[in-house]
Amino acid sequence: MAKMKLNQWHFLMVFVLLHRVTGINVTLNNGGFENVIIAINPGIPEDDKIIDSIKDMVKDASSYLFSATEQRFYFKSVKIIIPLTWTPKPEYKRVTTESYDKADIIVADPFLKYGDDPYTLQYGGCGEPGRYIHLTSNFLTNDSMHDVYGPRGRVLVHEWAHLRWGVFDEYNNDAPFYTTGVNQAEATRCSAGITGQYIFRSNTGAARKCKFEYRTQLYEPGCQFIPDKKQTASASIMYMQSLSSAMQFCNKSNHNIKATNMQNKQCNFRSTWEVIMNSSDYASSFPINSPPSAPAISLLQTHDRVVCLVLDVSGSMTTYDRIARLKQAAELFLLQIIETGSWVGIVTFNSYATRQIGLRQITSDSVRESLKNYLPTSAGGGTIICSGVRQGFQVFLEKYTSTKGCEIVLLTDGEDNSVSSCFAEVQSSGSIIHTIALGPNAAKELEMLADMTGGLKFSATDSLDSNGLIDAFSRISSESGDISQQSIQLESKGEIIKRFEWLDGTVSIDKTVGNDTFFLVTWSTANYPPGILIKSPKGKRYTQDNFVIDNTNVRTARLKIPGTAETGDWIYSVQNTHSTEQVLSVTVTSRAASENVIPVTVKSYLNRESNTFPSPIVIYAEVSQGFLPIVGANVTATVESQSGKSVELDLFDDGSGVDILKSDGIYSRYFTVFTENGRYSIKVRVQGKDKIVRRVRRQSHALYVPGYVENGVINLNAPKPEPSEDDIQTDLGSFSRTTSGGSFVMSGVPPGVPPDVFPPSKITDLEVELNEDDEFLLSWTAPGNDYDSGTAERYEIKMSNNPLELRDATFNSATSLNTSGMTPEVAGTKQSFIYKPEEFPKENGTSIYFAIRAIDNSNNVGEASNIARAVLLLAAFPSANTEGHTTLSFMLNQVTMIVIIVCAAAIVICAIISITICCLHKKKTRHHETGM
Ligand SMILES: *[C@@H]1O[C@H](CO)[C@@H](O)[C@H](O)[C@H]1NC(C)=O
Ligand SMILES: *[C@@H]1O[C@H](CO)[C@@H](O)[C@H](O)[C@H]1NC(C)=O
Ligand SMILES: *[C@@H]1O[C@H](CO)[C@@H](O)[C@H](O)[C@H]1NC(C)=O
Ligand SMILES: *[C@@H]1O[C@H](CO)[C@@H](O)[C@H](O)[C@H]1NC(C)=O
Ligand SMILES: *[C@@H]1O[C@H](CO)[C@@H](O)[C@H](O)[C@H]1NC(C)=O
Ligand SMILES: *[C@@H]1O[C@H](CO)[C@@H](O)[C@H](O)[C@H]1NC(C)=O
Ligand SMILES: [Ca+2]
Ligand SMILES: [Ca+2]
């Protein structure tokens, strides 16, 4: 007995660890990556060439990766997921727990038909894994792509390094050059040993050598670095994998610390290879002597969606009105969320399981209506979760020969210490289990069922006003990638409302959604509905009389707007007409208005799903229309602990603190307000007003090579196609979205008021420029007391001739600037500091570097910031520049000098321009466009 217990625990531990280490479900086995999922979007027309090309690409990538990583890593097994829309073939096996949404690599059209840049969606910091790699079918099948990106296998390795090891690009399209000294600039690249020519291509296609601009101390705008086809430098893959000599990542000895690129900015001037060497993959690997065998590639095809609701009806479900709330939420799932064409069955369980109804296909609204009659209305008895799960499998087997790829939605509120007894069955079933933990006592092993099967995890409290159960069910949509069929939640709001008072709100319906629009109103106590008034944008009114009302013990009122709902602001008001206060809630869902216009969606991610105090949780929300980021929206996350305490946070896309890129549609924020152990659930709300802009995502790409110099001849590729302004910028109108952001489990939270152990976050946007009084003006966004919340207590600013000295390990020993009189403002505020140099290094072409960190009132020390750089140029007086301007100089310490200021890592050009302007006009100008 005791031995078995131990083994079970061992089993549990393994799953917890697997999940935390990988994030994506790729496993590393003796250097071989296994279970890499490549999924083809259902919108891609059937084409066997895509599959053949993927096979070749993976094979080539495997041997390239092997040699690039000193014979440590290769691709061992890869699964290609073929969409349901393609003709079935005998060699296509049935998908199990894999899905398009969880794939590591997706093959999908670019949303705008302008280009095929392969890229990786990367929102974490240095060393953090990315979300997915996006390749287009044109990239895979059109051989003309070879000229601009190089062999596909090499491209895959470049992107894989972004995805797996969190390294960044070593080129920078927005800051293609950096100043290296007086009248000297070089291309942003790694290693600096890569040779080439600086070429300007005119509109007519004629090429000439670039002009050097004295004003900016860089090459003219539009200048391109054209590499020599033959190189001796073997690094680096994160710069230009297409060069045949590029066989390695930049390492400590050949890394270019001066290059103004994301790698230097995000990874504190470490080389890509150093970052890879610091990964857990590297720590658990060793060089392999013999070359690896070719990757095993299997083909799997998606099938119809098959779902079984497995619902807890044990005695505890009678408390807190749980059974009625379960029915409200499950009804919403059946009537609105589950996609037409899917198959659904229902099982209930307490000490034993009951099959309520076998699989029925959702073909019409009447099937949906009839299914809801099988939802439970009463509860009693114990809780044996495994009996419910096994019955769910039986329901699948009544229709199919295998449970592979079928989905169970498992809802429970109970403790059950026998959950692990069906782990082995669950594991071998190939089914996906989504778990919803209701209340504080739900079995602790519940999440493991989701983890081991790739299911979604939710938790809902008994605090009705958070609408958690409804939000969880709203999120369980198909993961097939076919967004036009999915239900999209626009609004979810619940509040305790006093007698005769109102729950009011506005839902903005934009032109990308509007079909199948439902308003769902719930109430908690009365046995008659509240007063309801909904006004459409054109003024049409709907009252409770227009709603379908279920006031038995479910307490829901539902309104379906026929056809496509009007675009604009819908205003709702719900009045509590009951004699006492009660909870009222409003949920609005809709679907895409057109098959051809991708709807705006929000997805939310966490940096980890189980966390130990005091590590912070990072919440990310991705707001996009297809692959196009949407910027300028208001994004709020509500984090609720299992006892129902909730904290609201605004998420920001401003490129400061934990948000690595400004305006990429990924909104980010730290969360540290841990009040107790256990589950925390997250809900994200997005509101966009007019003039919302979409931008083309331009990060973590494979570089589009402009051409090569071969035997002295310049061969240029076709210029990179640019999207039109109309495609980039469009007025979507106002829109509303909400989504459940899943949940995480917290441990190690000390009892009572937790001590302040959270330092201010790392400042990532330090810039430096020179003002008209010959002083250095440093500016940055203030961090908080606890990462990016609250107010820090003081700053430390350092300067040095050596940027590496300003990193954390040696920060203390660098020269300090006197920062007394400088107090931090509340997190998110732009701050600046003026440094008047007294002792100044006067050598021509000297680089001066600055860094800053913040410290809070509990003496928690924040990480050292990015490093901002200035190059000092001393010029003879008076000087004339090549463009014929006269005096471009001014006095400093009796030496005539021009100081060209170069901002941190990649934020270069604008600051330089602003210095020049200040020199010419004695007027301070500043550009905040960072170009990254
Ligand atoms: C291949 O791509 C090039 C460049 O994008 C394009 O001009 C050409 O039409 C494509 N060929 C095919 C067969 O799609
Ligand atoms: C860096 O890579 C080069 C080859 O690209 C190699 O010769 C050198 O030894 C490497 N240095 C380190 C520190 O690994
Ligand atoms: C993750 O990988 C393991 C083993 O490699 C596999 O058994 C499991 O089904 C995978 N989970 C998902 C969600 O794909
Ligand atoms: C939405 O409804 C309209 C009719 O109101 C219909 O023409 C259109 O095809 C529907 N869109 C989708 C994606 O089903
Ligand atoms: C976003 O929030 C700001 C400040 O809270 C507010 O002024 C603005 O109107 C909001 N914008 C939208 C689109 O809701
Ligand atoms: C600094 O270098 C530039 C370019 O080489 C030169 O024109 C200038 O005279 C030098 N200044 C001093 C003070 O040596
Ligand atoms: Ca961002
Ligand atoms: Ca603090």
State how far the Cα of 776 lies from the Cα of 790, in Å rounded to an integer.
28
Q: Measured at the alpha carbon of residue 515, what is the angle toward residues 509 and 517, in degrees to the nearest 5?
A: 65
793, pLDDT greater than 80:
yes
Residue 200: which pLDDT band, with cuts at 50, 70 and 90? very high
- Rounded mean pLDDT of 575-580? 96
- Report the 10 Å Cβ neighbour count for 28: 20
Q: At what angle do helices 446-453 and 2-22 cross, to 10 degrees?
A: 60
Residue 462: which pLDDT band, with cuts at 50, 70 and 90? confident
Q: Which pLDDT does position 407 carry in this prediction?
A: 97
Exposure b/e, 764-794, CB count within 10 A at least 16 = b = bbbbbbbeeeeebbbbbbbbbbbbbbbbbee
Q: Which pLDDT does position 692 carry in this prediction?
A: 60
Q: What is the pLDDT of residues 325-365, one digit of tens each?
A: 999 999 999 999 999 999 999 999 999 999 999 999 999 99
> Is the minimum distance from the CB of 272 to ligand 2 under 6 angstroms?
no
* Strands (DSSP E) found in 689-775: 693-694, 707-710, 713-716, 735-747, 767-770
Q: Which pLDDT does position 111 carry in this prediction?
A: 66
Q: Which pLDDT does position 332 carry in this prediction?
A: 92
832, pLDDT greater than 50:
yes
Q: Which pLDDT does position 691 carry in this prediction?
A: 59
141, pLDDT greater than 50:
yes
Residue 465: which pLDDT band, with cuts at 50, 70 and 90? confident
- Rounded mean pLDDT of 786-812? 92
- Rounded mean pLDDT of 125-139? 94
- Rounded mean pLDDT of 751-767? 92
Question: What's the count of helices (H) and strands (E) in the chain, helices before strands?
Answer: 17, 53
Q: Which pLDDT does position 742 carry in this prediction?
A: 76
> Is the minimum distance from the CB of 25 to ligand 3 under 6 angstroms?
yes
731, pLDDT greater than 70:
yes
- Rounded mean pLDDT of 302-306? 94
Residues 6 or more apart in contact with residue 120 via CB below 8 angstroms: 130, 131, 132, 133, 134, 159, 162, 163, 700
Active site residue 159: yes
Which numbered atom of ligand 1 lies nearest the CA of 718?
A: 4
- Rounded mean pLDDT of 690-719? 80
User: In this structure, which CATH number among 1.20.1300, 3.40.1360, 2.60.40, 3.40.50 belongs to the domain 604-732?
Assistant: 2.60.40
Q: Which residues line ligand 6 (CB under 6 A)?
A: 182-183, 844, 874-876
Q: Which residue has the higher pLDDT, 610 or 893?
A: 610
Q: Which residue has the higher pLDDT, 714 or 924?
A: 714
- Rounded mean pLDDT of 825-837? 92
Q: Which residue has the higher pLDDT, 699 or 751?
A: 751
922, pLDDT greater than 80:
no
Q: Are 416 and 441 in contact (CB under 8 A)?
A: no
> Is the minimum distance from the CB of 742 to ligand 5 under 6 angstroms?
no
> Is the minimum distance from the CB of 455 to ligand 3 under 6 angstroms?
no
Give ranges for CATH 3.40.50.410 in the chain.
Answer: 305-480
Which segment, 59-73, 839-853, 882-896, is predicted with the most confidence on average?
59-73
Q: Which pLDDT does position 361 carry in this prediction?
A: 97
Q: Which residue has the higher pLDDT, 430 or 7?
A: 430
900, pLDDT greater than 80:
no
Mutation choice for ligand 4 from 486, 509, 515, 516, CB with most ligand atoms inside 8 A: 515
- Rounded mean pLDDT of 868-885? 51
Q: Which pLDDT does position 839 carry in this prediction?
A: 61
State how far the Cα of 237 lies from the Cα of 245, in Å rounded to an integer.
10
Q: Which amino acid is at 575?
A: Q
Mutation choice for ligand 2 from 251, 252, 273, 274, CB with most ligand atoms inside 8 A: 251
Q: What is the pLDDT of residues 511-522, one digit of tens each?
A: 999 999 999 999
- Rounded mean pLDDT of 892-921? 33
Q: Which pLDDT does position 114 carry in this prediction?
A: 57
14, pLDDT greater than 60:
no
908, pLDDT greater than 50:
no
What does the mean pLDDT of the chain come to? 86
Mutation choice for ligand 3 from 14, 18, 97, CB with most ligand atoms inside 8 A: 97
Q: Which ligand is closest in space to the CA of residue 113?
A: 1
Ligand 7 centre to CA of 628 (Å) is 13
916, pLDDT greater than 50:
no
- Rounded mean pLDDT of 282-311? 95
> Is the minimum distance from the CB of 248 to ligand 2 under 6 angstroms?
yes
Q: Which pLDDT does position 910 carry in this prediction?
A: 31
Which numbered atom of ligand 5 lies nearest the CA of 632?
A: 13
Q: Which pLDDT does position 772 carry in this prediction?
A: 65
161, pLDDT greater than 60:
yes
Q: Domain 767-921 class?
A: mainly beta
Give ranges for CATH 2.60.120.380 in the chain.
Answer: 482-596
Q: Which residues pair with 435 in a beta bridge?
A: 410, 457
Q: Which pLDDT does position 698 carry in this prediction?
A: 61
Residue 931: which pLDDT band, with cuts at 50, 70 and 90? very low
Q: Which pLDDT does position 696 carry in this prediction?
A: 61
926, pLDDT greater than 70:
no
Q: Are 254 and 245 in contact (CB under 8 A)?
A: no
- Our measurement of the distance from residue 739's CA atom to the centroid of its chain's CA atoms, rounded to an integer in Å, reads 14
- Rounded mean pLDDT of 674-693? 86
Q: Which pLDDT does position 776 carry in this prediction?
A: 85
- Rounded mean pLDDT of 584-588? 95
On whether the 482-596 domain is CATH 2.60.120.380, my answer is yes
- Residue whose pair of structure tokens reads 């999120």 in the numeric block: 475
Distances (CA, A) of 573 to 53, 496, 535, 661: 56, 14, 9, 39
Residue 811: which pLDDT band, with cuts at 50, 70 and 90? very high
Strand 582-592 to strand 513-523: parallel, antiparallel, or no bridges (unpaired)?
antiparallel
Of 647, 645, 629, give the one whose Cα is nearest residue 637: 647
180, pLDDT greater than 60:
yes
Residue 228: which pLDDT band, with cuts at 50, 70 and 90? very high
State how far the Cα of 249 lies from the Cα of 253, in Å rounded to an integer.
11
Q: Which residues pair with 745 in a beta bridge?
A: 610, 679
Residue 550: which pLDDT band, with cuts at 50, 70 and 90? confident
Q: Which pLDDT does position 444 carry in this prediction?
A: 80
> Which residue's CA is the nearest one to ligand 3's atom 6?
452
In the numeric block, which tokens belong to residue 636? 């709020």
Q: Which residues line ligand 1 (CB under 6 A)?
A: 142, 144
Q: Which ligand is closest in space to the CA of residue 790?
A: 8
Give ranges for CATH 2.60.40 in the chain.
Answer: 604-732, 767-921
Q: Which residue has the higher pLDDT, 679 or 924?
A: 679
- Report the 10 Å Cβ neighbour count for 333: 25
Distances (CA, A) of 663 to 123, 233, 653, 876: 12, 35, 6, 42
Pick the catalytic residue from 98, 159, 170, 407.
159
pLDDT cut 90: percent of the chain above it: 66
Q: Which pLDDT does position 17 carry in this prediction?
A: 29
Which segment, 144-153, 216-225, 275-284, 600-609, is predicted with the most confidence on average?
275-284
- Rounded mean pLDDT of 298-314? 96
Q: Which pLDDT does position 875 carry in this prediction?
A: 53
Taking the CA atoms of the chain, what radius of gyration do you get in angstroms?
29
For domain 305-480, the CATH architecture is 3-Layer(aba) Sandwich (3.40)
> Which residue's CA is the nearest one to ligand 3's atom 13?
454
Residue 268: which pLDDT band, with cuts at 50, 70 and 90? confident
Q: Which pLDDT does position 84 carry in this prediction?
A: 93
